[in-house]
Amino acid sequence: MCGIAGFTHTGRPADPAVAREMAERLRHRGPDQQGTYESPDVSLAAVRLKIIDLAGGEQPVHAGDGDHVIVFNGEIYNHAALRRELESRGHRFDSLCDTEVVLRAFIEWDRFCFARLRGMFAAAVWSERRRRLVLARDRLGIKPLYILERGACLHFGSEMKALFAHPEVERSLDLAALDHYLALNWTPSPNTPVAGVRKLPAGTWLAWEDGRTRAEPYWNLRFEPSSRWTLGSAREALDALLQEAVREHLVSDVPLGVWSSGGIDSSTILHYAAHASSRPLKTFSVSFRGRSFDESPWFREVAERYGTEHHEFDLNPEVELADAIEKFAWYADEPTADAGALPVWFLSRMSRQTVTVALAGDGGDELFGGYLTYLADRYARWMRLTPALLRRGTLAALQRWWPVSDDKISYEYMAKRMLEGSLLPADEAHFFWNGTGSREQRGQLLAGGGASLVPLMEGIDTPPLNRYLLADHRYYLADDILTKVDRMSMAHSLEVRPPFLDHRIVEFAASLPESFKIRGSRLKWILKETMRDKLPPSVLRRKKMGFDVPAHEWFRGPLRPLLLDTLSESAIRATGVFSPSAVHRLIDDHLERRINAGYNLWGLLILFLWMRAWGVGSFSSPQSSTSDASSARPA
């Protein structure tokens, strides 16, 4: 696993210190080796976390033909088969690493090679003779890649902070993207909160040549349910796919473990990993002290069932919460309002003490219909048969008389959220269920805020459930879940692999009838049927919880000083875009328990910490030159 960066500079020399600083900004992604490549037209940089071929594979990797060079971030699980095929075509290899396989595959098949790769990756290949740079990102967007076009030049990096190392890159806020962030907790691709900086879409390649760029998808997920599936054949196919995918994801030359929440997704991965491994596995979990956020009874039962060497971190108000939040706001790179990033931070830190690679259950919900939001979409359709005036009146009464609860997904929260969402268009309501700021609230907080989210659904023309599954695959999975896991794990130099996102499993799930995913009120029906004789009944029966923290409660307690200091009057005015009175009203309403705005405030807190760390918008930059980034890195 690595971090990559670079930029083109046709017609003028580049200061080699810039590429070195870009690499330095990514050092946490690859502490084992760092390298750069300079030519009259391009500068490339890479940092490496050694996973495969510990003795070889230093980056950048050269083809030895005086022409091609690659920087690469990721893991290719079919690299051995590709190596054999390429050798049969006359290619010779100098290492055992998958990076060289990707380079040779590109030389053989050019951009068509990316569709042959099975794994997670972001790559940049330079051809000196053609003066051509080609970038590509894996099908699901597991590994990040940011791009910025400035005139005839192209900049890229695994994280935005690498782009910020270039002295000519500006850091202005994109207000439309900021509005989306406040609504969704994340910024939908290809946009970012920084004007001009974009995410290369998942499953896409981009070529830069003679100052012009061209981009095309090499993979598109299509939901085409097939009537050929029976319960028996679907269970058999899914079982075989999971066996193979998990076995491939276990290949590593360094210690490996499994993240476990005790839910069906992570327990499924653990089941297949335990059966494929010749030795006991290490498992890692986060616990909470009591209340509705703790999953310890389930992950302890699963750990005992599979005889793992189990590790736990107890996330409670006595740990260094404020210090961790300030650090991960720096490492988050692109701000995320998903409070689940905090337990992932501590989970990653604990895991890295004993392993370098961890398998995780991410993706199961988006593939097989595991979120309560899919049921909410259905129930809201029925609720809309009731006059809107009656629903508004009921919502107002509940807000007035039903006290707010700090419990996770409380009945109070669900009832109010359902009524409020039922007053929105169906497509906007789907994003609202998992989001935070309503259109009205965003309009109060942000000048020009409150735009509709419906355009995110454009081009998605399938029946309701698959329509929302595809939207979540395209945006929520890549821009929230995978982004959160990548940044928090790589902040600790830990590689996390999600076997569910093997593209063969993804395509299989897209071919299933909707009734195989949600049957009645039963979520992830086919996955539970497949695992029925493999996992404990308690795991199969338990309710969906998700990875989260008691933000409502903590902002009224241990995180109150950090909140008030970060969202001070002077800080709000320094942004030039937020309304101090609206922000303070939101804070006061939360602290006085008139509403639960913990997740809204979490998003604002992380955003302000991020803007301050990187000098985005009207905040003065702590890194005005390329020489002082190391001093800004959290200790």
Query: How does DSSP assign 60-75, residue by residue?
Result: SEE-SSSSEEEEEEEE
CATH number at residue 240: 3.40.50.620
- The answer on 305 and 240 residing in a single domain is yes
Do residue 251 and residue 202 come from a single domain? Answer: no
Same domain, 252 and 110: no
Helix (DSSP H) and strand (DSSP E) numbers for the chain: 27, 17
> In this structure, are 93 and 136 located in the same domain?
yes
* Same domain? 242 vs 344: yes
Q: Are residues 268 and 206 in the same domain?
A: no
200 and 256, same domain (yes or no)? no
Shared-domain flag, residues 213 and 313: no
**Most trustworthy range by pLDDT among 56-65, 199-208, 293-302:** 199-208
Q: Does some domain include residue 383?
A: no
Q: Is the pLDDT of residue 629 over 60?
A: no
Nearest to 258 by CA among 326, 188, 355: 355
pLDDT at 413: 87
- The residue from 541, 573, 597 where one domain ends is 541
In angstroms, how far is the first alpha carbon of the chain from the final one?
22
Instruction: Say yes or no: 11 and 153 in one domain.
Output: yes
What letters, b where the CB count within 10 A reaches 16 and e where it falls short, cover 458-489?
Answer: eebebeebbbbbbbbbbbbbbbbbbbbbbbbb
Q: Which of 541, 562, 577 is the last residue of a domain?
A: 541
Count how many Cα atoms sit within 13 Å of the Cα of residue 494 in the half-sphere of its side chain: 29
The residue segments making up the domain with residue 199 are: 2-173+190-217
The listed range with the strongest mean pLDDT (110-114, 288-292, 624-628, 630-634) is 110-114
**pLDDT tens digit sequence for 201-260:** 999 999 999 899 999 999 999 999 999 999 999 999 999 999 999 999 999 988 999 999
Q: Answer yes or no: is 297 within a domain.
A: yes
pLDDT digits (tens, 9 = 90+) for 373-396: 999 999 999 999 999 999 999 999
445 has a pLDDT exceeding 60? yes
Indicate if the pLDDT at residue 283 is higher than 60.
yes
Judge whether 184 lies within some domain.
Answer: no
State residue 454's pLDDT score. 83
Residues 417-422: what's their mean pLDDT? 94
Domain count, the chain: 2
Asked if residue 344 lies in contact with residue 239, where contact means CB atoms within 8 angstroms, the answer is no
Residue with tokens 């070195």: 20
Q: Yes or no: say if 427 and 453 are a contact pair by the CB < 8 Å rule.
A: yes
Alpha helices in 3-70 (DSSP H): 16-25
Q: Do 155 and 82 fall within a single domain?
A: yes
Give pLDDT, residue 625: 38
On whether residue 445 sits in a domain, the answer given is no
Q: What does the alpha-carbon distance between residue 74 and residue 60 come to, in Å, rounded to a whole number?
A: 14
Assess whether 62 and 107 both reside in one domain. Answer: yes
Residue 63 forms part of a structural domain = yes
Residue position matching structure tokens 């910025």: 148
- Indicate the burial class of 521 (C-beta count within 10 angstroms; 0-12, 13-18, 19 or more): exposed
Does residue 271 have a pLDDT over 50?
Answer: yes
438 located within any domain: no
Does residue 601 lie in a domain region?
no
> Above 90 in pLDDT, residue 162?
yes
pLDDT at residue 604, rounded to an integer: 96
Q: For residue 79, what is the domain's CATH number?
A: 3.60.20.10
* Residue finishing a domain among 516, 541, 566: 541
Whether residue 61 is predicted with pLDDT greater than 90 in this model: the reply is yes
Tokens of 375: 């049921």
Model confidence at 449, pLDDT cuts 50, 70, 90, reads confident
- Label residue 486 by pLDDT band (50, 70, 90): very high
Q: What is the pLDDT of residues 296-337, one digit of tens each?
A: 999 999 999 999 999 999 998 888 899 999 998 889 889 988
Say what the pLDDT of residue 407 is.
82
- pLDDT recorded at residue 514: 95
Task: DSSP letter for 477, please.
Answer: I
**Cα–Cα distance for residue pair 96/79, rounded to 1 Å:** 9
Residue 307 lies in a domain: yes
**pLDDT over 80 at 635, yes or no:** no
Report the distance separating Cα 352 and Cα 354, nearest Å. 5
Instruction: Output the CA torsion 484→429→440→550 (10° steps).
Output: -40
Q: Are residues 476 and 535 in the same domain?
A: yes
